[in-house]
Structure 1
Amino acid sequence: MRIAAATVSLHQLPMVLPLVEKPAGDGLRVICEIETTDGHRGFGMTGRWLGHGVAAAIEHDLIPVIRTMDIRDIEAIHQRLWPEITPRGIRSGAGMAALSCIDMAIWDAVGRSTGRSVAQMFGGARTDVPVYVTFGFGVYSEDQLVQLAHQLADEGFKCLKVLVGVAKGGIAEDARRVKIVHDAVGDRVTLALDANESLSFDQALRLCRMLDGIDIAFFEDPIRGNDARELADLRRMGRLPIAIGQFDGYASRFREWIEADAIDIVMANSMYNGGFTETRRVAALSQIYNKPLSDAGGGGLFSLHHVAGFRNGTMMEMHLGNARLERALFVNAPEPKNGRIAVPDAPGIGLELNRDLLRDSLVK
């Protein structure tokens, strides 16, 4: 079961928000497909930043050094790849995205060869998971936020995430938007916050105090750079659970946050942190320190596997824009029912690519 061939392609995929039909971030994605000597295939995906560079690194720098290796020897493959990505262990940028893409393709191929899903290879703790919905984008008016919140609550979702740091009127307007949603559906759902690392420490702390008395499930990526010392202070002074890790959530970074007492919820995203292999390390760390394991950052149906696979998995994110992208990209994307989503009943990642969309979305 050795690596025989690999292809990499760059795509501009539809990333549009419902209700307003406006873009919800960059739909640029890199897809790597790997084929083994005995005919098994697997794919991985990453994207959003430096897509051309990531695709080039996969094709010209990384695949050549692991071609002919046994695809089941994942640690050996990582040992071979790491010197190509960074000579001194710094984990960031295009190299990590490229590694993530390749690693996910490897796990997908191994799963397909054994007839087991990635979630089962992680441990198979459950076959479906609850979903929290990222819906509170700045492009929505307050009336549209309320409309969507009611709609999502009616569909059975129990946790909705509102973006903050997006309002033109600053954190006071952010707080008002959160309170309006809470007043509309607060008895039916729990709200969460996400600042996407857009606030200063002072802004984040003031926002926490403005929302005192509202049951907030977690505050994700609250401050710029997610400095461990500032996060620890915010966690203590703001009295909201802190969740982090969507784009730089590799194991040593989580260790830093945990040792600083700066984190409540571990959010891993295999599309950016080094792949399923690194997420397995993160999951082990989260279990050692009794931290719940979730996901964020548009990991979507890929992250479903670690949330379902590990026993401390909690909720999977459904980002409205990314969910729409996944419905177009995968011909068999599972749909949530009553606020939960099932692991696909197929091996590996369990998803099949829409070849027509890949052809039409290819970036030349």
Structure 2
Amino acid sequence: MATITALRSIRINERPNLIWVEIETDEGLVGLGESFRGAQAVEAVLHEQVAPWLLGRDARHIEAVSQQLMNPYLGFHSASAEVRAASAVDIALWDLAGQRQGVPVYIAMGGGVRDRIRAYNTCAGYSYNTAGTVRRSTDGSEAPKGPYDDQIAFMRDAGELAHSLLDEGYTAMKIWPFDGYAAATGGHLIGPEDLRRGLEPFRKIRDAVGDRIDVMCELHSMWTAGAAARICRGLEEYGVFWAEDPIAKMDDVQALADLRRQTRVPVCGSETLAGLVPFRDLLARDAVDVVMLDLAWCGGLTEGRKIAALAQAYARPLAPHDCTGPVTLIAGLHLAMHAPTAIFQEVVRATLSTWYRDLVTELPAVELGMVLAPTAPGLGTRLHPDVARRADAVVRTSKR
């Protein structure tokens, strides 16, 4: 037995979307998990619904725990508070499994198919996505907060930003210059002038560096199908690697399949979905070219590797998401080492170089645009002890 004796949640007011889970066992081990968005709601689910069932159970039976937590009476097949809580617990249980065996998580999952993977830099800023709203400036007028305030940079001079990334070894980047134009029509229409402005950063990148860098376009599920199709057709000229989450509801399989037939730009989706069924439906209807998943939202590594197996069965590439927290990044990297069709690990150099370092003891190494496999047992990182002792920390523990 590896009996679960305590479940602890930790969140801090400075990063109100983030919540961490620590699971203790009678072996003296502590597993770390994480989720993002609605941290207070996730905290309530963890202690009021999950802990009473989980405490006293065997931490080794990860599949059984996943089956229970991923099938709530309400909230399944979406990244609900229930599923986000289940995701954090699952990541922590896999961390425990790796520690128990003395190997990295991806080895505990059955081993890897690579020892490094290509990174793409999501061109966000230092505080992007921190407090529940995504900063969507479209004019680049804000003052940069540092050398890696890349969201401002891609609106000011995307070509110069591309040079900066290439200088550091990155050969892929993701930008979202269309977001600011959606509000005017509720995402139902994009006019010719807004379309031209949204395409301008892609033109600047190609003029500056040619095809030396791959460029992804994030659309943040802000558009209806007709507007998304117009944007995607405009992107075709610039050889965009994918258009990500192009429509408002990424479980609308019919709309996505129709969109995919109208454009040569590959469609990527979706970090917003959870569990096997939505991904099965997307793949069965030939609605996506690239499978993206977020392990803190989709059900953790247990569900994540099943989604990865679906992607493999349909010969679709896989790209783990991270624009949220350091533990999710590391968990995604373990899946990327393990999953045969994984092609990228998303990173944000602004956060990697700053506040991610303040939260965990170890972060992935990025060398010449490649993210290296973790080598330490388990996830290979711990929450900094100082995090739980901060004045703005909210720590809650449920014990057996």
Is TM > 0.5 for Structure 1 vs Structure 2?
Answer: yes
Distance verdict in 2 for CA 1:201–1:80, change over 3 Å: closer
| Counterpart Cα distance in 1 of 2:269 and 2:350 | 20
Matched, 1:30 2:19: yes
Distance verdict in 2 for CA 1:165–1:4, change over 3 Å: same
Matched, 1:304 2:304: no
Q: How far 1:319 sits from its partner (Å)? A: 2.7
SS, match of residue 224 in structure 1: coil
Q: How far 1:82 sits from its partner (Å)? A: 4.4
| Counterpart Cα distance in 1 of 2:178 and 2:317 | 25
Q: How far 1:297 sits from its partner (Å)? A: 4.5
Matched, 1:362 2:375: no
Runs of 4 or more consecutive aligned structure 1 residues displaced over 4 Å after TM superposition: 87-90
Structure 1 counterpart of 2:222, from 174, 179, 198: 198
Look up the match of 1:45. 34
Matched, 1:223 2:236: no
Spell out, residue by residue over 1:228-247, the C-alpha distance to the aligned partner (whole angstroms, 9 max, x if none).
11111211111111111212
Look up the match of 2:268. 243
Look up the match of 1:6. 7
1:90-109 pair list within 5 angstroms: 90-109=77-96
Amino acid at match of 2:385: R
Structure 1 counterpart of 2:299, from 274, 287, 293: 274
Distance verdict in 2 for CA 1:254–1:293, change over 3 Å: same
Look up the match of 2:173. 160
Q: How far 1:6 sits from its partner (Å)? A: 1.4
Which ranges in structure 2 are unaligned for 5 or more consecutive residues? 126-135, 138-151, 182-192, 396-400
Look up the match of 1:232. 257
| Counterpart Cα distance in 2 of 1:241 and 1:90 | 24
Spell out, residue by residue over 1:239-297, the C-alpha distance to the aligned partner (whole angstroms, 9 max, x if none).
11111121214211111111111011111211111111110110111111111111224
RMSD: 2.1
> Are the counterparts in 2 of residues 165 and 198 from structure 1 also a CA contact under 8 Å?
no
Structure 2 counterpart of 1:263, from 269, 281, 288: 288
Q: How far 1:70 sits from its partner (Å)? A: 1.0
SS, match of residue 123 in structure 2: strand
Distance verdict in 2 for CA 1:90–1:192, change over 3 Å: closer
Matched, 1:129 2:117: yes
| Counterpart Cα distance in 1 of 2:227 and 2:177 | 11
Percent of aligned positions with the same letter in both sequences?
Answer: 29
Distance verdict in 2 for CA 1:198–1:297, change over 3 Å: farther
| Counterpart Cα distance in 1 of 2:64 and 2:211 | 51
> Are the counterparts in 1 of residues 70 and 299 from structure 2 also a CA contact under 8 Å?
no
| Counterpart Cα distance in 1 of 2:210 and 2:103 | 39
Q: How far 1:96 sits from its partner (Å)? A: 0.6
Look up the match of 1:287. 312
